[in-house]
Amino acid sequence: MEINAYLDEISTYLSEKILPSFQEYGIQLTSFYVNDINVPVDDDTVIKLKAALSKRAEMDIVGYSYQQERSFDTLEGAATNPNSMQGGMMGAGIGLGMGIGVGGAIGQQFGGLAQNITTAETKMCPQCKGQIGKNDRFCNLCGCDTESAQNAKQINCASCGCTLTESTKFCPKCGKKYNPCLKCNADIPDNTDICPACGEKAPKPCPKCGNVLMPDSKFCSECGYSLMKKCPNCEKEVSENTKFCPACGTEIK
């Protein structure tokens, strides 16, 4: 029922999946967002799920488990059975026991809640913006490593210097496509083979389908296109900067 909290992740995932299909027809997908996911409120499955989540929240607040609830129901049924000779005595015992046990559990829960409200210090998760404990390293809502996120190096557009994020596709200021380094995520300038930040080789797009590939790739993992440079005469594989074929002497253009 909390699927709308992950609309950004869903949008990014779907955009990456459908982008190659658009590029086959020469269409550039500049932005793709899922704004909302509606769930039919009158669906029996949704109604049962909402009821189960509500019951779970009630159990968490009161402080008892599903097994304890079933035990209470079983004992209460036995105590109210008119054919049971021990019904009256059992009912009295259950009432006393539940009064002590459940009352104590509720007291502990509200005592802890009051203590958390007045003394617990929190901080905001940089990924999901949820509130977590000040000394917690990992977010209990999305699993983000808050220390790594705080120490992450800022990404700037190689063209205009605008601040970018790892999920950015195009610079919001100048429109340059974000070309991330595979090692440090820095934005690599256009027509550059080496990352200026760490010296890593820049990723290269497939000439046929546009899929981003590792620098040393010989074939496209998406369409199978060969990325190896060959001599037009003898078809011997040659390096990128070769001017003449070492096997037959043909000029490589």
pLDDT single digits (tens) 207-250: 888 787 777 788 888 898 887 778 888 888 877 778 888 888 88
Task: Return the residue matching tokens 């704004």.
Answer: 35
Instruction: Tell me what pLDDT residue 2 has.
Output: 66
Task: Return the residue matching tokens 């006393």.
Answer: 96
Cα–Cα–Cα angle for 175, 187, 152, rounded to 5 degrees: 120
Has residue 32 got a pLDDT over 70? yes
**Which residue type occupies 61?**
I
Per-residue pLDDT averaged across 34-46, rounded? 79
44: Cα separation from own chain's centroid? 29
Instruction: Tell me what pLDDT residue 118 has.
Output: 47
Share of the chain above pLDDT 90, in %: 3
d(CA 81, CA 102): 23
Has residue 150 got a pLDDT over 90? no
**Which residue type occupies 44?**
D
d(CA 179, CA 171): 10
Mean pLDDT over each residue of the chain, to the nearest integer: 76
Per-residue pLDDT averaged across 55-60, rounded? 77
167: its two tokens? 């999920």
DSSP designation for 219: B
Between residues 133 and 216, the one the model is more confident about: 133
d(CA 231, CA 16): 35
Strand (E) positions, the chain? 122-124, 131-133, 155-156, 163-164, 204-205, 212-213
Per-residue pLDDT averaged across 27-42, rounded? 80
Dihedral over Cα of 11, 12, 17, 19: its sign: positive
Has residue 114 got a pLDDT over 70? no
pTM of the entire structure? 0.31
Has residue 42 got a pLDDT over 70? yes
228: its two tokens? 């190896």
Instruction: Tell me what pLDDT residue 160 has.
Output: 93
Instruction: Tell me what pLDDT residue 107 has.
Output: 54
180: left (phi over 0), alpha (psi -120 to 50) or beta: beta
Share of the chain above pLDDT 70, in %: 74
d(CA 27, CA 34): 19
User: How would you class 192 by CB atoms within 10 Å of its CB: exposed for 0-12, middle for 13-18, buried for 19 or more?
Assistant: exposed
Between residues 104 and 210, the one the model is more confident about: 210
Dihedral over Cα of 66, 69, 75, 76: its sign: negative
Between residues 59 and 31, the one the model is more confident about: 31
d(CA 136, CA 138): 6
pLDDT digits (tens, 9 = 90+) for 157-187: 999 989 888 888 899 999 998 888 877 888 8
Has residue 82 got a pLDDT over 80? no
Instruction: Tell me what pLDDT residue 174 has.
Output: 93
